[in-house]
Structure 1
């Protein structure tokens, strides 16, 4: 995930107004190394992703439900995003939607957003969220290069859905907590409360997650976020701050 830079905010906000969304005000830039993952035998490591990824081919939809994590106070700005998406593991394409839990300017901030790389994330202003809310989100191919991105706050009942153009290869599906790129640099991950992902699907079925597919967020030799083993059904797990 890459946050929208100030110089593009007015342009993006104007273009998105008719869709009921606004561009995120945080400074950011797309980084081609945003989602590089070091795959190893029993787990994978990333400087900004923690969670699970299914890899292969023919991925056309992914769905997840999770709780918006709260974040603890920090001496400097820290960021975290929980999301579901298609592609991004092993390629530079990605379609995704999720929620943001950050600690900036001396306070916690929460929001919902969507993004298609290489463009920047766009805030879904019609669905305000807060810590603890239950969120269900999905990305799904409808036909050709048309994809539907959907997000619902189950706690408030507010929802958003929009059809977008996306032509990625469909080589992976992810359920992730991320430390996004902000101001052109890798952000520090926020101290977030445990995030439980449940009801996961891929192509309409159970993803059948296994522990070897887990991704651990590691920065400077420290594991800052680590997912649990999958639940017994293979369609859920809990991601925790471990820094």
Structure 2
């Protein structure tokens, strides 16, 4: 079954517009736009992203470690993705890799994937992901348009790495817990367990996150996924389901 691209976040005058679709086991449309959500209370609000994004120029790598969150049963299908990436905030490019924690077809489902827009995401072979596993992942420019995408399951020791071609502008770096679009519609957020993003790096250095950079996932007036303030080093935070 085909898997569809992950979604973009575009910040426009303090509002968040989500574009595209996400890597989930369902047919989904590409580049379906969501409504604008206003910027309030020193945070950005998005219908599909929660976490942190650094914006500017010259971003050539991003890396993070996180624990794959578990998901609880829901009466209908719900979805979530944890990932690290470069670009996608303010432009239509994106290189990323991460893990999926979904509740669909009556069961919890977990997987690892990588993606370069506008192509579809690809399930990472040989790395079987479980809830509670520690994951370290990165995307990094090596030279020219060559980038290395890497993901390791620290719990099982299984790892994967590949060199891919990417020519995005390097205008942002992200650490995100996402609710994807499925079948052309914004998905409901999976009821995921609280987990941490840690050891964050941008261009091989700590990103120095500040609380005003946080992105809260809000749908229909409800905050479903909320990041904590950064830790004292500015290189980690937790994300909680708050719906």
Q: Could you say which TM-score interval applies, normalised by the shorter chain?
A: 0.7 to 0.9
Structure 1 residues 54, 40: closer, same or farther in 2, change over 3 A?
farther
Secondary structure of the equivalent of 2:57? coil
Cα offset, 1:185, TM superposition: 1.6
1:219 aligns with 2:219: yes
Aligned to 2:30, what secondary structure does the other structure show? Answer: coil
Residues 200 and 235, structure 2, Cα contact 8 Å, conserved in 1: yes
1:192-222 deviation per Cα after TM superposition (whole angstroms, max 9, x unaligned) = 0012000000000000000000000001111
CA deviations on 1:12-32 (whole Å, 9 max, x unpaired) are xxxxxxxxxxx9642223225
Identify the structure with the greater helix proportion.
1
2:190 is matched with 190
* TM value normalised by structure 2: 0.88
- Indicate the residue corresponding to 1:199 in structure 2: 199
Residue 37 of structure 1 deviates from its aligned partner by: 7.3
Where in structure 2 are the equivalents of 1:83-162 lying within 5 Å? 83-162=83-162
Q: 1:176 maps to which residue?
A: 176
Shift of 1:191: 0.4
SS at match of 1:201: strand
The 1:86–1:150 alpha-carbon spacing in structure 2 relative to 1, beyond 3 Å, is same
Equivalent-residue separation in structure 1 for 2:27 and 2:242 (angstroms): 26
The alpha carbon displacement at 1:121 in A equals 1.3
Inter-partner Cα distance in structure 1 for 2:154 and 2:74: 29
| TM-score computed with the length of structure 1 as normaliser | 0.88
Q: Give the count of matched residue pairs.
A: 225
Task: State the superposition RMSD in angstroms.
Answer: 1.9
| Alignment match, 1:45 | 45
Unaligned residue ranges in structure 1 (runs of 5+): 6-22
Partner of 1:236: 236
Tell me, in whole angstroms, the C-alpha distance in 2 between the residues paired with 1:139 and 1:35.
29
Cα offset for 1:123? 0.7
Which whole-Å CA distance do the structure 2 matches of 1:99 and 1:105 have between them? Answer: 18
CA distance in 1, matches of 2:182, 2:237: 27
Tell me, yes or no, if the aligned pair for 2:32 and 2:184 is still in contact at 8 Å.
Answer: no
Change (3 A) 1:229 1:216: same
- Alpha-carbon contact 1:93-1:117 (below 8 Å) kept: yes
Give yes or no for the alignment of 1:60 onto 2:63.
no
Structure 1 residue 137: deviation in Å? Answer: 0.1
Cα distance in structure 2, aligned partners of 1:66 and 1:186: 24
Unaligned runs of 5+ in 2: 6-22
Could you tell me how far apart the structure 2 residues matched to 1:207 and 1:39 are? 22
Does structure 2 conserve the Cα–Cα contact (< 8 Å) formed by 1:29 and 1:120? no
